[in-house]
Amino acid sequence: MRMTFVLTALSICAFASLLPTSDARGEGGPVDPAFEAVRNDPRIGKLLDEISADDSRTFEEQKRITQIPAPPYMESVRAEYFLGRMRELGFKDAAIDSEGNVIATRKGTQARPKLVVSAHLDTVFPEGTDVTVKEKDGAYLAPGIGDDSRGLAALLSLIGVLNRSDIETLGDVMFVGTVGEEELGNLRGVKALFRDHRDIDGFISVDGLDVGRIVNQGTGSHRYEMIFKGPGGHSFQEFGRPSAVHAMGRAIAKIAEVQTPADPKTTFTVGTVRGGTSVNAIAAEARLTLDMRSNDTAELLKVEERILGLIKEAVTEENRRWNAETASVEIKLIGDRPAGIVPEDSPIVQTTRRAITQVARGPQITLAGSSTDSNMAMSLGIPAVTLAGGGEGGNWHSLTKWYKPTDAYRGPQVILLTLLTLVGVDGVSQPTLPVRAAK
């Protein structure tokens, strides 16, 4: 009986070894030998522990970064601070490029594949905004405390533990603090990055907080400023002339009735309006800004064509109302963020899933679309994801943005496992990120 049991168990084990295997929660598909080699290396396990031990210091760094103002197109002071910290952590050759990005490269033994890990320096808040961090009921409040000072702090934590270790990667890892991610920055930082560095094989943006969320789809957007013009005049003496404000009002009413698909998600909004000079004057000029977004380029172009046609219709109607031809509109493109998608079965997405499963275990893993620095890479066909810096928060893009450093260390831990698997570790694993053909 004993011998029969042993033989049966061995037979079962042999049969099971022929079946596809999956990681602990089945979130990453069949087991990836490269990922398993990385996560089982004792030195890398030590790095994960160091990130956890560094959690409170990383949060203090996050608060310091938050309190350095970085309005759109005014990121230079924060960039200089970030550059200084990179140099302190061992990147003596770190520098600021011509666009304002802060760049440091950790060289691998074979250079390729080259992976970028980035976070953005800028915030949405204008010059003069009070960015003092305040504590209230266990939460920390400040404009931009999670977006993206958390990402920048997570990068510094990663850089610190890696540069203190003897880990050598096969591929290069380029750490970047980018400019121009928010508002009308129009992704100018990453656009310059990919213009100047044609050998980038993969891209990770650290933005957001939910460790279980993987952004593998870039939401494209087109932004416009519409400048309506008319002859102007006194509200009583010249009554009967077309009004720039009335033409704009007609346009807004038409835009508000536009129908868009729920899938792929496609949206629009008139974000700002201004115009006129006096309550008793026919407006000679009025302006609106318009944001249109979609997870699909074709749908974005459809809604754009429809809305731009409605704008022109509104001006025609205003002229017709007063039997005139003196109202007009100037349409200016002020923002263009390309759309893109990285397949769920790509190495960068699958590796990230495995890393989240290994580190966090608890959260449900979701794939999502968003507008981040990764858009540019995705639009160029470069494998890219946006991953979370860790912690929890709310009231995004608000003066009352709040943050709690709850298990925040899990963010950089996920990124560490992901980047090491993608670029490979000398003596441990081969890269899983493909090297792109020369352009």
Is the predicted pLDDT of residue 234 greater than 90, yes or no?
yes
Burial of 361 (0-12, 13-18, 19+ CB in 10 A): exposed
Q: How do residues 41-97 score in pLDDT, each as one tens digit?
A: 999 999 999 999 999 999 999 999 999 999 999 999 999 999 999 999 999 999 999
Is the predicted pLDDT of residue 110 greater than 60, yes or no?
yes
CA dihedral 88, 93, 99, 102 (to 10 degrees): -30
Is the predicted pLDDT of residue 17 greater than 50, yes or no?
no
pLDDT at 360: 83
pLDDT at 248: 98
pLDDT at 28: 54
In this prediction, what percent of the chain has a pLDDT beyond 70? 92
pLDDT at 16: 32
User: Where does 279-360 show beta strands of DSSP type E?
Assistant: 281-282, 285-294, 328-337, 340-341
Is the predicted pLDDT of residue 435 greater than 70, yes or no?
yes
Q: Domain 220-337: which topology?
A: Alpha-Beta Plaits (3.30.70)
Burial of 365 (0-12, 13-18, 19+ CB in 10 A): middle
Q: Read off the pLDDT band of 384 (50, 70, 90).
A: very high
| DSSP structure class, residue 273 | E
pLDDT at 14: 34
Is the predicted pLDDT of residue 368 greater than 50, yes or no?
yes
Is cis: bond before 431, omega within 30 of 0?
A: no
Tokens of 244: 């720039």
Average pLDDT over residues 120-125: 96
User: Where does 13-66 show beta strands of DSSP type E?
Assistant: none
Asked if residues 187 and 121 have their Cβ atoms less than 8 Å apart, the reply is: no
Could you give the C-alpha distances from 323 to 146, 227, 252, 282, 366, in angstroms and in order? 54, 21, 21, 16, 56
Determine how β-strand 171-178 pairs with β-strand 102-106.
antiparallel
Determine how β-strand 213-218 pairs with β-strand 366-370.
parallel
pLDDT at 133: 97
pLDDT at 30: 78
Q: Read off the pLDDT band of 29 (50, 70, 90).
A: low
Is the predicted pLDDT of residue 231 greater than 90, yes or no?
yes
Q: Read off the pLDDT band of 423 (50, 70, 90).
A: very high
Question: Average pLDDT, whole number, for the chain?
Answer: 92
pLDDT at 3: 32
Q: Write down the domain spans for the chain.
A: 33-218+339-423, 220-337
Q: Per CATH, is 33-218+339-423 categorized as 2.60.120.10?
A: no
pLDDT at 11: 34
Average pLDDT over residues 263-272: 96
Is the predicted pLDDT of residue 13 greater than 80, yes or no?
no
Q: How do residues 271-299 score in pLDDT, each as one tens digit?
A: 999 999 999 999 999 999 999 999 999 99
Bridge partner list, 77: none
Is the predicted pLDDT of residue 439 greater than 80, yes or no?
no
